[in-house]
Structure 1
Amino acid sequence: MPLPDTFARALADRFGKRFSAAEAVRAHHGHDESHFSDALPDGVVWPHSTAEVVEIVNLCREHRVPLIPFGVGSSLEGHILATHGGLSIDLSEMKQVVAIHDEDMDAVVQPGVTRKTLNAALHGSGLFFPIDPGADASLGGMASTRASGTNAVRYGTMRENVLGLEVVLADGRVIRTGGRSRKSSAGYDLTRLFVGSEGTLGIITELTVRLHPLPEAVSSATCAFPDVASAVRTVIQTIQLGVPVARIELLDALTVQAVNRYSKTTLRESPMLFFEFHGSPTGVEEQAHTVQDIARDNGGQDFEWATRPEDRTRLWQARHDVLFASLNLLPGCRGISTDVCVPISRLAEAIAGTQQDIAQSGLIAPIVGHVGDGNFHVVILTTPDDPAQVHASEELGRRIVERALALDGTCTGEHGIGIGKRDFLLAEHGEGVAVMQSLKAALDPLNMMNPGKIFALPG
C-alpha cells in the first residue's frame, strides 16, 4: 500500500531527490540474491548522516511505517525484502572512511562503505580487512548479518572483527557500543547483540572494525581428490594439526564442472580443495608442505600452485562466482542457496548425509563450502514452474538443516535467518527464542524495524 500522504510529503520536503517512490527504484530495493519472491518497499530514502537517520526513524515511528535497512542487496535469506511494506532506508551514500588508526590496527567507517572500498583506503598502510563474503557487500550489511566468508578459518567472522558500533534505536536514541580498546568488562556486550540482528533492533550508522597486517607472503593451491570424504579428512587433519591456513574451500565434482564452464578454468573435474597460506615466506612454505603431505596421504593429486597475484585472483574469483556458475548448469532454473555449519569433527558425516539426500531427491545440487570452519553450502537448482521440484527442493533443504542440528551444528553458518530459516530457529535455540523476542519487543515495541525477519513477534 502507498505511504501515508503526510509522511511521503514530509520525506519529499526534507530529502528532495533523496526520497523516491518510483516503481523502478522500489523494485531494485525489493529484490536480493535469494530465491524468494520480490517484496517492494513503498518508498526509498538515502540518508547522509546519523542525524538524518534519526529524523527518518522518528518520522516512521510517528506514522507507524516499517523501516528496512538496505546496503547493496546481496543477502541470501530475504533480509531486505519489504514483506510488510514500508520504507527502505538505503545507507549506500553513508560511505565515508571516518578514520584509520594504523598503530592500533582499526578503522572507523560509515555503514555504506564496502569491504573493497575499505581495503582500497588501506592501500600502503600494510593492513587489510579480511572478511570476504564474496560479494562486495557493505560493512553495515555484513555486520547486520554476521557475515564471514572464505577467510573466516583464520581471521574469524564479523563477530570477531567488529569492535564497536553506533546504532539508532527505534525510539530515535543514538547509542555507542563497544569501542576501540581490544577488551572490556564494562556491562552487557551490546556490540554482539547488534552484530547479526539483521536490522531488527536498530540501524547501524557507524562501525569500528579490526584490521590485520598484510601477510608477507601468500600462496594458493588446488588439490583434487577421489571423493569428497577424502577431501574432508584432509581438512579435518589439517585443522587438528593446527596448521594456520587462511582459506580451505571445498568444491564437489559438479561444482568444479560448473566452474570450468563458467569461468573457463581447466580444473580436474573431481572433488577439490582450494587452499591459501599467509605468513612469512618460510612459514608459508612449511604450511604448504605439511598440507600437501596430508592431502597425499588421503589420495590427493594434482597439487598445483598459484603464486602469482593474477593467478590467485583468477582462482578465487572463480570460487566467488560459484553461485552463478551453478545456475548455469540448468538454464532458467532458480537456485536455492542454503548453508549450515557443524563441528569440524562432524563435517564428513554431515556432507556424506547431504550427498545421499541429494541423490535421493533427484535434484541438481552442487556443494561448496568454507570447510575449514565446518561451514558448507548447497545450491539447490529448481525449475520454478514444476511443483514437484519445488516441493523436493524444500524437503531437501529441510533435511540438510535437520541433520546439521542433530550433529550439534547450526541452521546457518553465515547467511543469517532472514525469512528463510525462521522455522529452524526454535529447534536450534528453544527457549532462547523467547528471550530474543523479549529483547526485540523491549527495543522495538512497535515492530517497525525490519519486521518479519528472524521471527514474528507473538500476536
Structure 2
Amino acid sequence: MGTAWIENLKEMIGSERVSTSEGELFRHSKDESFHPPVQPETVVFPESTQMVKDIVDFVRERNLPITPYGAGSGLDGQAIPVSRGVSMNFDRMKKVISFTPEDLSVTVQPGITRLELNREINRQGLYFPIDPGADASIGGMAATNASGTTAVRYGSMRDQVLNLEVVLADGRIIRTGSAAKKSSSGYHLNGLFTGSEGTLGIITEITLKLHGIPEHTIAARCTFDTPKHCAAAAQAVLTSGIPVLRIELVDAPSIKQVNAYGDYHFPEQHSLFFEFAGTQTSAEEEASFVEELMADMGCGNWERASGSIERAEIWKARHELAYAFRHMKGKEVVGSDVCVPLSKLADMVDFARGQIEASGLLGSVFGHVGDGNFHTIIVYDPKIPEEKQASETINEQLILKAIEAGGTCTGEHGVGLGKIKYQEMEHGEALEVMKSFKELLDPGKLLNPGKIFI
C-alpha cells in the first residue's frame, strides 16, 4: 500500500496527533516483555472517543492493523504491533469523566494511570486498590485483566469494572454494563472485553468500583525453611478466615539478590510478607492472630510495623525484586506466571524452585500466593543459547504442570504472544467459541492481530 495513507491520516486528525519519528516508533515497538520488538508504521494519539472511532473507520477501509498502547508495562507482548500498521497511544486521553464518591465509582479515559487516578480520588477518602506493581494505565489494566498484590482481597480488574465504552472494529460504540453494582440483564460483556487484550474492541472509557481507604495498616514479614513451607503457611492464613490485604512469597535466592542490589541486610531465607488493613483494632487483632499462627508453624524472624516508613522498609525486598534481577549487566531474564488452586500451590512452588535449582541458573520464585498466583524470573546469558533454552524449558514445564493441576497458564500477565501455544490445552473446545467471538466482532482481524490465538 505504501505510506501515502499516513499523510491522509494526518489530514484527518491533525499532523500533531500522528508521529513517524524514530523515537516514537521505537518506543511503541516493545513493552516490558522479552519478546522481540516490531516497529509500527505510525503512532496516533487520539483525544476523544469520536477520534478513536474515526481512526478505526480509517484503518478498516484500508485493511490496516491497529494495536492499542497504554503505558508499555505489559509483560507478554500485548502492545507489540506484530503486523506493524498503527499503534494507538492513549497518553492524551487521561480525563476523569465523572467521579461520584457517594456511589463509590469513577469513570475515566483509558490513558490515566492507577497512581494518577488515586491522586484524584484519595482526597475523598477513596482509592482504587488493584496494584500490578507498575504504574500501568487503567485501559491497559482492563484490557489484560490485571491484578497484583491486593488480589487476595479485591480480586482482579474484572471484579472492579462496572461499565466499559468500547469502539468495535466496524465503528460501533457500545457500552458493556451500567453504573449499578450488579446486574442480571443480558450477557456479561464486561467480562468478555475485560481481558480481551484489545482483540475485540478498543476501550475508550472505564467505570470502576472504588473502596474506602483503610483507617490503619500493618505490614509484617517472617521466614521459613522452604518455599513449600511458605506456601503452606499462606494457605493456613487464608483458611483461617483472616481478610489479609496482601500476602506475598519471596524465595531465599531473591532476597539474596535484593540484598546485593540495594546493599540491604534482610534475612536471606524464604519469606512471607503480609499486610493487614481496616480499623486499628481489627488490623492489630488480625496481625496478632497471624503472628501466633506463623509461630505455631515454625516461622522465624517475625517483624511488623504500622508506620508508613517502617512498612515500606519491610516491603522493600518484595518491591525491588524485579529490578534486582532485570538490571544485571550482560544478562537477560525470562519470566512467567501461573495460577493454581490453593491446595496445589505448595507443591507447585516447590516444583518451580526445584526446576530452577536443577538447571544451575539464577532464578526467583515469588508472587501473590494468597490467590494461588506466583511468578518466576530466570536469568540467562544471551551469548549462551543453551541457557536461554533452559530458561524457556523451565517455564514451559511449570505451565504444563499448572494446567495439569487444574490451573491456568497465566494468572495476570495475559496471553499476548507468549502463552498462545497453551490455549488449546487449557481451554479445549472453548477456544473455538473464543475464536467465534473474534470472527464476529473483528472479521478482518485488524484489532491487535497475532495475540491470544493465531
Query: Given residue 105 of structure 1, which amino acid in structure 2 is its aligned partner?
Result: L
After superposition, residues 257-336 of structure 1 pair within 5 angstroms as 257-316=256-315, 318-328=317-327, 330-336=328-334
Query: Given residue 252 of structure 2, which amino acid in structure 1 is its aligned partner?
Result: A
Q: 1:170 to 1:317 in 2, by over 3 A?
A: farther
- Residue 245 of structure 1 corresponds to 244
- Give the Cα separation in 1 of the matches to 2:291 and 2:52: 52
- Residue 376 of structure 2 corresponds to 378
SS of corresponding position for 1:259: helix
SS of corresponding position for 2:176: strand
After superposition, residues 394-413 of structure 1 pair within 5 angstroms as 394-413=392-411
- Give the Cα separation in 1 of the matches to 2:163 and 2:196: 14
Query: Given residue 370 of structure 1, which amino acid in structure 2 is its aligned partner?
Result: H
- Give the Cα separation in 1 of the matches to 2:122 and 2:335: 34
CA contact (8 A) 1:68 1:88 kept: yes
CA contact (8 A) 2:252 2:271 kept: yes
- Give the Cα separation in 1 of the matches to 2:135 and 2:192: 24
- Residue 80 of structure 1 corresponds to 79
After superposition, residues 107-256 of structure 1 pair within 5 angstroms as 107-256=106-255
Does residue 51 (structure 1) correspond to residue 50 (structure 2)? The answer is yes
- Equivalent of 1:429, from 427, 430, 435? 427
1:260, CA displacement in angstroms? 1.9
Query: Given residue 147 of structure 2, which amino acid in structure 1 is its aligned partner?
Result: S
- Give the Cα separation in 1 of the matches to 2:305 and 2:85: 48
CA contact (8 A) 1:163 1:182 kept: yes
- Give the Cα separation in 2 of the matches to 1:360 and 1:449: 41
- Which range is displaced more, 198-207 or 318-327? 318-327
Does residue 89 (structure 1) correspond to residue 103 (structure 2)? The answer is no
CA contact (8 A) 1:231 1:298 kept: no
CA contact (8 A) 2:147 2:156 kept: yes
1:5, CA displacement in angstroms? 3.1
- Give the Cα separation in 1 of the matches to 2:146 and 2:263: 29
Which aligned runs of 4 or more in structure 1 are off by greater than 4 angstroms? none
Query: Given residue 99 of structure 2, which amino acid in structure 1 is its aligned partner?
Result: I
- Give the Cα separation in 1 of the matches to 2:176 and 2:168: 12
- Residue 339 of structure 2 corresponds to 341
- 1:340-365 per-residue CA deviation (whole Å, 9 max, x = no partner) reads 00011110011111122112222211
1:306, CA displacement in angstroms? 2.3
1:318, CA displacement in angstroms? 4.4
- Which range is displaced more, 281-290 or 221-230? 221-230
- 1:15-47 per-residue CA deviation (whole Å, 9 max, x = no partner) reads 212101122110000111101111111110000
- 1:317-345 per-residue CA deviation (whole Å, 9 max, x = no partner) reads 542332111234x4311111100000111
- Residue 14 of structure 2 corresponds to 15
CA contact (8 A) 1:60 1:66 kept: yes
- Give the Cα separation in 2 of the matches to 1:277 and 1:170: 44
CA contact (8 A) 1:66 1:84 kept: yes
1:315, CA displacement in angstroms? 4.0
1:206, CA displacement in angstroms? 0.1
- Residue 442 of structure 1 corresponds to 440
SS of corresponding position for 2:376: strand
Query: Given residue 44 of structure 1, which amino acid in structure 2 is its aligned partner?
Result: V
Query: Given residue 230 of structure 1, which amino acid in structure 2 is its aligned partner?
Result: H
Q: 1:25 to 1:211 in 2, by over 3 A?
A: same
CA contact (8 A) 1:231 1:295 kept: no
SS of corresponding position for 2:123: coil
- Give the Cα separation in 1 of the matches to 2:150 and 2:383: 37
- Residue 415 of structure 1 corresponds to 413
CA contact (8 A) 1:233 1:298 kept: no
Q: Percent identity?
A: 45
- 1:97-155 per-residue CA deviation (whole Å, 9 max, x = no partner) reads 11111111010000001000110001221110000000000000000000000000011
CA contact (8 A) 1:263 1:318 kept: no
- Which range is displaced more, 95-104 or 254-263? 254-263
CA contact (8 A) 1:221 1:306 kept: yes
1:313, CA displacement in angstroms? 3.2
- Residue 352 of structure 1 corresponds to 350
- Which range is displaced more, 52-61 or 264-273? 264-273
SS of corresponding position for 2:103: coil
- Where structure 1 has 5 or more consecutive residues not aligned to the other structure, the ranges are none
- Give the Cα separation in 1 of the matches to 2:170 and 2:348: 44
- Residue 391 of structure 1 corresponds to 389
Q: 1:314 to 1:30 in 2, by over 3 A?
A: farther
- Give the Cα separation in 2 of the matches to 1:320 and 1:159: 24
- Give the Cα separation in 1 of the matches to 2:172 and 2:113: 26
- Give the Cα separation in 1 of the matches to 2:302 and 2:313: 17
SS of corresponding position for 1:268: coil
1:6, CA displacement in angstroms? 3.5
Query: Given residue 361 of structure 1, which amino acid in structure 2 is its aligned partner?
Result: S
- Give the Cα separation in 2 of the matches to 1:61 and 1:311: 54
- Give the Cα separation in 1 of the matches to 2:313 and 2:78: 30
TM-score, scaled to structure 1: 0.97
- Give the Cα separation in 2 of the matches to 1:197 and 1:394: 25
- Give the Cα separation in 1 of the matches to 2:134 and 2:188: 28
- Give the Cα separation in 2 of the matches to 1:325 and 1:213: 33
- Give the Cα separation in 2 of the matches to 1:219 and 1:263: 24
Q: CA RMSD in A?
A: 1.2
- Equivalent of 1:451, from 445, 449, 452? 449
1:314, CA displacement in angstroms? 4.3
The number of residue pairs the alignment matches comes to 453
